[in-house]
Amino acid sequence: MLFEVEIPTRERFQIVDVTDRIQEIVWKGKMRHGLAVVYTKHTTTGLLINEPEEGLLQDFKAKMKELIPKGAGYLHDRIDSNAHSHLRAGLLLNPEVVIPVDQGELQLGTWQRVLFVELDGPRHRRVIIMLCPCSEYPEEE
């Protein structure tokens, strides 16, 4: 089953927790056991699984800016001045995350959340969530 979720962003560089929306899709799809594949359809966004503590989110942003600064003479900037966003997405993030589902619940750790990272906003973004069910566990003998 394939679902699409819109994520409107309000800032140029923003991290959005999308975990609850993914869990709602799992419930809507009535999947008990399987995998939830979450995929961003944009080259200047990414996904990660981590803790959404505000200080840590600011650290992520600061480190990305330090490692790949804006306006550092990138060739792509001749086209639309967002090479840094493409490079951050391509070198530091993933376009997808895969989360196991058991008993209809995302199997994330205590502090883990699914985070959508906007690198070239504000924009209206789309994330695909594909539910890949697995057959029920065999009965124990």
Torsion sign across C-alpha atoms 95, 19, 119, 131:
positive
In this model, does residue 132 exceed pLDDT 70? yes
pLDDT recorded at residue 139: 53
Residue reference for tokens 């789309």 = 126
Element (H, E) at 98: strand 96-102
Q: What mean pLDDT is predicted for residues 100-125?
A: 98
pLDDT recorded at residue 135: 77
Segment 28-74, tens digit of pLDDT: 999 999 999 999 999 999 999 999 999 999 999 999 999 999 999 99
Which residue, among 45, 16, 41, 8, has the nearest Cα to 120 in the 3D structure? 45
Q: What is the mean pLDDT of the chain?
A: 96
Is the pTM for the entire model greater than 0.75? Answer: yes
- Distances from the Cα of 8 to the Cα of 58, 105, 138, angstroms: 20, 25, 42
Residue reference for tokens 């060739």 = 75
